[in-house]
A and B are shown apart, each in its own frame.
Chain A
Amino acid sequence: MRPALSDNRNGTNMRVIDNHEAIGTEGGARLSEASARDFFELLKPRVMSLVVFTALAGMVMAPGHINPFIGFIAILCIAVGAGASGALNMWYDADIDAVMTRTAKRPIPAGKILPREALSFGLTLSAFSVCILGIVVNWLSAGLLAFTIFFYVVIYTMWLKRSTPQNIVIGGAAGAFPPMIGWACVTNGIAIESIVLFLITFLWTPAHFWALALFKMRDYGAVGVPMLPNVSGEATTKTQIVIYAVLTAIIGVVPAALGFSSLVYGAFAAALGLGFIWYSIGVHRMPEGDEKMVPAKKLFAFSILYLFAIFSALMVDHLIATLWLTAGKVA
């Protein structure tokens, strides 16, 4: 690159480059104008909030005690780890994000953050979150967090996402691990209860994501991501949505059936599950080639509400049971 301005102050061969010209020139130094907010956007804050919430649920429901501050650090590490995997996902997917309307404004395709900055940011945060969780809490939860990041970035983003319509079924495991990590933070172990918490999010993901894939089918088709509606068609997707909605509704009541939640929770989860099935049937009845796809949008919105409601109910139910037990002992 040819420097725009030359100087030889201090008697040295010093060249001062006018960075106005340096930006965007081929092979020139491109300096970042990314703000701290842009880096925060890389962490996928909305996904992170779901991860924090489900991890907290795992922690609250686990038997045993954790110091509140250590618990806070554990949640922070899980959130940062989830954010780091989001940043690495955006780094790898920048090419397709630029084409899709839903993701075109993300920091990398929008030109706010350079891909190499996102890569360094994601790797650094991944290392920090795993190491701090291991040092402060325990190494089982740190190992699970490291595996979750690896699963989301390598197994889902780099491998499954662009190669199979079952991408979000298998890849959904990455989003389902946080309650298990939260549980492991308290108990330093894995139990049937934490596996059930894992399964709730795991089985919920396909119906949630395929509802989105239905009304964003053109976007996914444009970038060649083999989502189920693009590969197998709307009819198959709608049937699969109903099947997974039923499975989600069943797993939702399992905590009550196994006795680690009350029957009141069971009734609440059953009602929510029926709602989930109802909305999925609405999608199934949607005419082929429907442009607006209102039922799919409704199912997508309800699915988010469903997951928050289920995990909220699990936590409230557990806290009430704990208070009841404590009051009983005092009396």
Chain B
Amino acid sequence: MELVTLTDAQKKSRRGRNIALGVVLFGLVAIFYIVTLIKFSNGMVQ
């Protein structure tokens, strides 16, 4: 089994990418939640 030790720069950049990915995933959840509410409310109005 091979493991890789990361340099400080790699750790820092990976942390930044993970945070950005987390923000994007949270944004997607929020988008689908709000869109579902909008679509449901439109359906109820119709």
Binding site for B on A (CB under 8 A): 3, 5, 12-20, 22-23, 29, 31-37, 39, 67, 69-70, 73, 132, 136
Contact = CB atoms under 8 A, between A and B. Distances in A.
Contact of A17 (B5, B9, B31, B38): B5
Contacts of B2: 3, 14-17
B44 interface: no
Nearest to B23: A36
11 contacts: A5-B5, A14-B1, A16-B5, A18-B5, A19-B5, A19-B6, A22-B4, A33-B7, A35-B16, A70-B35, A73-B31
Contacts of B6: 19, 31
Interface residues of B, number: 20
B20 interface: yes
B41 to A, nearest CB: 9
Contacts of A33: 7, 9-10, 13
Nearest to A32: B13
A184 B17 CA distance: 34
A15 B13 contact: no
Contacts of A34: 13, 17
Nearest to A31: B10
B3 A67 contact: no
Given A36-B16, A73-B31, A15 B1 contact: yes
B29 interface: no
Nearest to B2: A15
A17 B4 contact: yes
Given A32-B13, A69-B35, A136-B35, 13 more contacts: A13-B1, A16-B3, A18-B5, A19-B6, A19-B7, A29-B4, A31-B10, A32-B17, A36-B17, A37-B16, A67-B38, A67-B42, A73-B35
Contacts of A32: 10, 13-14, 17
Contacts of A69: 34-35, 38
A70 B5 contact: no
Interface string B12-30: 0110110110000000000
Nearest to B18: A36
Given A19-B10, A70-B38, A14 B17 contact: no
A17 B13 contact: no
Contacts of B20: 36, 39
B17 A35 contact: yes
Nearest to A20: B7
Given A19-B10, A73-B31, A136-B35, A36 B19 contact: yes
Contacts of B16: 35-37
Contacts of A39: 17, 20
Contact of A16 (B4, B10, B14, B35): B4
Contacts of A5: 5
